[in-house]
Amino acid sequence: MLNILNAINNNDLNEGRRQLELINDSLLNLTQSLFDGNEELEYHRNELEGKFFRYGLANQSIINLTRGNSFNILSQPVVMADVFSITSITRMQIESFSMIFYLFFDEEPVDLLKFRYLIYQLHALQKQSNFESTSVFSHKKNQDIISEIEKIKNLIKKHNVYIEAGTKMQKEYLQPNKAKQKTTYDILVKTNLESKRIDELWNLYSNHAHSEHISDRQFNTIYKIRKSTVPECSFALTLNSILTTKLCEYLRKNFESVKNAFENLNLENKILIETFNSIGEKK
């Protein structure tokens, strides 16, 4: 626990990377235990394993990026961390975290979670169906997607949430303009994390992803004035450790095979998960 606090307080990148690597390894092992334990996932959790695996891959990208990119400037070798790619991936991780919670772990009736998953599917399929068909193969693929859209719509129309909704809301359900019906902030509020702080970071990191003026100002501060990327890299490692340990906890609470797999983790991994989980919670 002292190593964790020292790494955070002293911006120790080597220790921060090591800790996130151990946490990420735990996440992937716990996810694998769903398959090993023959867990039968409910319909609305069909994408759970894939989302967790992709989350782990993105964590590894963040870890690698904090080590710095090696390249030449004016024939001089340079090693420099790309803070803006790190923050853009972290922004994606916040969005992924909120979507995972929204679809799989929100403490709502399972029937509502299944409805959310149908809307989530329909939104994606309708977007995909709007892509221009430029070949016989893509035209055939588009027809398959249109057929799938109709099946999803029929399932939505049979659902109590749809049946009990007004006409305007029913139209929105059949033509959703977003994959999730709640804002990232509203979802984060329910996770017991420091939701306001994480939402503020998501907004800040969005400026980096969109190359807006805040990112210009931060570039000047980081690369021209301070000439150090260490604080930003260290903070990204801490934030992603917090989010990842929270996902480990959701898995442990919801699946018996994961509970057993968690007990088989080594002591340091358990302490990392429990400590970062505590650091990220509302005080």
Q: Is a pLDDT exceeding 90 seen at residue 140? A: no
Q: Is a pLDDT exceeding 70 seen at residue 4? A: yes
Specify the pTM.
Answer: 0.93
Q: Is a pLDDT exceeding 70 seen at residue 237? A: yes
Q: Is a pLDDT exceeding 70 seen at residue 44? A: yes
- Which tens digits make up the pLDDT trace of 111-121? 999 999 999 99
Q: Is a pLDDT exceeding 80 seen at residue 196? A: no
Q: Where are the domains of the chain?
A: 2-107+190-280, 108-183
Q: Is a pLDDT exceeding 90 seen at residue 102? A: yes
Element (H, E) at 72: strand 69-73
Banded model confidence at residue 171, pLDDT cuts 50, 70, 90:
very high
Which sign does the torsion angle of CA 173, 177, 183, 188 carry? Answer: positive
Contact call for residues 119 and 156 (beta carbons, < 8 A): yes
Calculate what percentage of the chain has a pLDDT beyond 90.
76
Question: Phi, psi at residue 108, to the nearest 5°?
Answer: -120, 160
pLDDT, mean of residues 266-270: 95
| Residue 270 structure tokens | 């358990």
Report how far apart, in Å, the C-alpha atoms of 91 and of each of 62, 76, 88, 199 are.
11, 32, 5, 10
Banded model confidence at residue 7, pLDDT cuts 50, 70, 90:
confident
Question: Phi, psi at residue 37, to the nearest 5°?
Answer: -90, 5
Banded model confidence at residue 283, pLDDT cuts 50, 70, 90:
low
Element (H, E) at 76: strand 76-80
pLDDT, mean of residues 233-246: 96
Q: Is a pLDDT exceeding 80 seen at residue 282? A: no
205 vs 5: CA distance, rounded Å: 24
| Residue 128 structure tokens | 């995909």
Q: By mean pLDDT, which of 132-141, 216-225, 265-274 is the weakest? A: 132-141
Q: What is the pLDDT of residue 275?
A: 94
